[in-house]
Chain A
Amino acid sequence: MKRILIEQGRVIDPANSIDRTGPVYVADGKILALFEKPDGFEADSVIDASGQIVCPGFIDISTRLRQPGQSHKATFQTETKAAAAGGITTLILQPDTRPVIDTPAITELVKELAENSNYRQILPIGALTRNLEGQELSSMLALQEAGCIAVGNGGKPISNLLVLRRAMEYAASHDLLLIYRPNEQSLSNEGCAHEGAFSTRYGLPGIPETAETIALSQCLELAELTGCRVHFGQISCRRSVIKIQQAQKYGLSVSADIAAHQLHLTENDMKPFDSVYHVLPPLRSEQDKLFLRKALMQGTIGTLCSDHQPHDLDAKLGAFPETEPGISALETLLPLMLKLVDEKLITLSQGIAALTQTPAKVLRLESGTLTPGKSADICIFDPGRRWQVDRSTWYSKGINTPYWGEQLTGRVSATLQSGKIIYQGVFHD
Chain B
Amino acid sequence: MSHNLQLNAEGKLKHFLTIDGLDKALLTEILDTAESFAEMSGHHVKKVPLLRGKTIVNLFFENSTRTRTTFELAAKRLSADVISMNIATSATSKGESLLDTIRNLEAMFVDMFVVRHGTSGAAHFIAEHTAPHISVINAGDGRHSHPTQAMLDMFTIRQFKPDFSTLRVAIIGDILHSRVARSQILALNTLGAAEVRVIAPKTLLPAYVETLGVTVCHNLTEGLKDIDVIIMLRLQKERMTSALLPSESEYFKCFGLTPEKLEIAKPDAIVMHPGPINRGVEIDTRVADGPQSVILRQVSNGIAIRMAVMSMAMQTQGAT
* B110-167 contacts to A (CB < 8 Å): 117, 119-122, 124-125, 129, 141-145
Which of B1, B96, B141, B211 has a CB less than 8 Å from the CB of A201? Answer: B211
Asked whether A195 is an interface residue with its Cβ less than 8 Å from the other chain, the reply is yes
B182 interfacial by beta-carbon distance below 8 Å: yes
User: Is A319 close to B, CB under 8 A?
Assistant: yes
| Interface check A50, CB cutoff 8 A | no
- Is B87 interfacial (CB 8 A cutoff)? no
Within the complex, what minimum Cβ distance (angstroms) separates A87 from chain B? 32
By a CB distance below 8 angstroms, the chain A residues around B20 are: 201, 272
Neighbouring A residues of B144 by C-beta, 8 Å: 202-204
Asked whether, in the complex, the Cβ of A195 is within 8 Å of the Cβ of B208, the reply is: yes
CB of B247 closer than 8 Å to a CB of A: no
Whether, in the assembled complex, B3 has its beta carbon less than 8 Å from a beta carbon of chain A, the answer is yes
Check A203/B145 contact, CB under 8 A, given A195-B208, A321-B120, A321-B121.
yes
A206 to B206, CA, bound (A): 9
User: Cβ of B179 and Cβ of A319 under 8 Å apart?
Assistant: no
Proximity string of chain A (321-332) to chain B, C-beta cutoff 8 Å, 1 when within and 0 when not: 111000000000
| A272 and B1 contact, Cβ closer than 8 Å, known pairs A203-B142, A314-B96 | yes
Assembly CA distance A201 to B99 (angstroms) = 25
A203 touches B94 (CB 8 A): no
Q: Tell me, yes or no, whether B2 is within 8 Å of chain A by CB.
A: yes
Q: A402: CB under 8 A from chain B? A: no
Give the CA-CA distance A205 to B120 in the complex, in Å.
9
In the assembled complex, B95 has its CB within 8 A of some CB on chain A: yes
Specify which chain B residues have a CB less than 8 angstroms from the CB of A208 in the assembled complex: 207
* Closest chain A residue, CB of each to CB of B178: A203
A204, closest chain B residue (CB): B120
- Assembled-state Cα–Cα distance A427/B95 (Å): 35
B17-34 contact mask (Cβ, 8 Å, vs A): 1 or 0: 000100000000000000
Chain A proximity of B131: nearest CB distance (Å): 16
In the complex, chain B residues whose CB is within 8 Å of the CB of A199: 206, 208
Contact A273 B121 (CB under 8 A): yes
Task: Known A273-B2, A273-B121; judge A319-B141 contact (CB<8 A).
Answer: yes
| Complex Cα gap A411–B105 (Å) | 46
In the complex, the chain B residue whose C-beta lies closest to that of A324 is B94
Distance in angstroms from A314 CB to nearest chain B CB is 5
Residues 264-307 of B at the A interface (beta carbon under 8 Å): none
Q: Does B209 contact A (CB under 8 A)?
A: yes
Q: Note all chain A residues with C-beta closer than 8 A to B40.
A: none
- The distance in angstroms between the C-alpha atoms of A272 and B186, with both chains bound, is 16
Check if B212 is an interface residue, CB within 8 A of chain A.
yes
In Å, the complex CA distance between A303 and B215 comes to 42
A186-205 contacts to B (CB < 8 Å):
195-197, 199-205
B83 at the interface (CB under 8 A from A): no
CA–CA, A274 to B121, complex, Å?
Answer: 9
Q: Which residues of B contact A318 (CB under 8 A)?
A: 94-96, 98-99, 125
**CA–CA, A323 and B120, complex, Å:** 12
Whether A271 and B120, one on each chain, are in contact in the complex, defined by CB atoms closer than 8 angstroms, is no
Contacts of B96 in A (CB 8 A): 314, 317-318
CA distance A10 to B283 in the complex (A): 74
- Measured CB to CB, the nearest residue on chain B to A197 is B211
What's the minimum C-beta distance from A315 to chain B, rounded to whole angstroms? Answer: 9
Q: In the complex, which residues of chain B have a beta carbon less than 8 angstroms from the beta carbon of A205?
A: 120, 143
Is A394 engaged at the interface, CB distance under 8 Å to the other chain?
no
Cα separation A206 to B208 with both chains bound (whole Å): 10
Q: Is the CB of B120 within 8 A of A202?
A: yes
Q: Which bracket fits the contact residues of A?
A: 20 to 34
Give min CB distance, B207 to chain A, whole Å. 5
Q: What 1/0 mask marks residues of chain A from 260 to 291 whose CB sits below 8 Å from any chain B CB?
A: 00000000000111100000000000000000
Chain A min CB distance to B142 (Å): 6
In the complex, A203→B147 CA distance in Å?
A: 13
Q: Are B211 and A200 in contact (CB under 8 A)?
A: yes
Contacts of A196 in B (CB 8 A): 207-208
Distance (Å) between the CB of A393 and the closest chain B CB? 24
Kindly provide the distance from the CB of B143 to the nearest chain A CB, expressed in whole angstroms. Answer: 3
Name A203's contact: one of B2, B120, B207 (CB within 8 Å): B120
A272 touches B95 (CB 8 A): no
From B205, which residue of chain A is reached at the shortest CB distance? A200
Whether, in the assembled complex, A403 has its beta carbon less than 8 Å from a beta carbon of chain B, the answer is: no
Please report the C-alpha to C-alpha distance between residue A201 and residue B141 in the assembled complex, in whole angstroms.
13
Residues of A within 8 A of B121 (CB): 202, 204, 272-273, 319-321
Residues of B within 8 A of A317 (CB): 95-96, 99, 129
> In the complex, A323 Cα to B96 Cα: how many Å?
10
Check B208 against A322 for contact (C-beta < 8 Å): no
> When the two chains form their complex, are residues B94 and A322 in contact, meaning their CB atoms are under 8 A apart?
yes
Smallest beta-carbon distance A321→chain B, Å: 5
CB distance from B116 to the nearest CB of A (A): 12
On whether A319 and B182 interact (CB within 8 A), knowing A195-B207, A201-B212, A274-B1, the answer reads: no
Q: Which of B125, B145, B207, B211 contacts A319 (CB 8 A)?
A: B125
In this complex, what residue of A is CB-closest to B123?
A319
| B98 proximity list for chain A (CB < 8 A) | 318-319
Question: Considering the chains assembled together, what is the distance between the CA atoms of A321 and B117 in angstroms?
Answer: 12
Q: A273 contacts B207, CB within 8 Å? A: no
Compute how far the CA of A199 lies from the CA of B179 in the bound complex, rounded to whole angstroms: 12
- Provide the residues of chain A in CB contact with B120, threshold 8 Å: 202-205, 273, 319-321
* A271→B3 CA distance, assembly (Å): 10
Q: Assuming A200-B212, A201-B20, A273-B125, is B207 touching A322 (CB within 8 A)?
A: no
Q: Of A203, A271, A323, which one neighbours B1 at CB under 8 angstroms? A: A271
Min CB distance A44 to B, Å, is: 51
Cβ A272 vs Cβ B141 within 8 A = no
| Closest B residue, CB atoms, query A202 | B144
Q: How far is the CB of B180 from chain A (nearest CB, A)?
A: 11
The 8 A CB mask of A204-231 against B (1 = contact, 0 = none) is 1110100000000000000000000000
Which 5 pairs of residues, A with B, have the shortest CB-CB distance? A318-B95, A203-B143, A203-B144, A273-B121, A272-B2
Residues of B within 8 A of A (CB): 1-3, 20, 94-96, 98-99, 117, 119-122, 124-125, 129, 141-145, 179, 182, 206-209, 211-212
Give me 25 A-to-B residue pairs in the complex whose CB atoms sit less than 8 angstroms apart, sorted by A's number.
A196-B207, A196-B208, A197-B208, A197-B211, A200-B206, A200-B212, A201-B182, A203-B120, A203-B182, A204-B121, A204-B142, A204-B143, A205-B120, A272-B121, A273-B120, A273-B125, A274-B2, A314-B95, A318-B96, A319-B121, A319-B122, A319-B125, A319-B142, A320-B125, A321-B119
By a beta-carbon cutoff of 8 Å, the part of chain A in contact with chain B is 195-197, 199-206, 208, 271-274, 314, 317-323
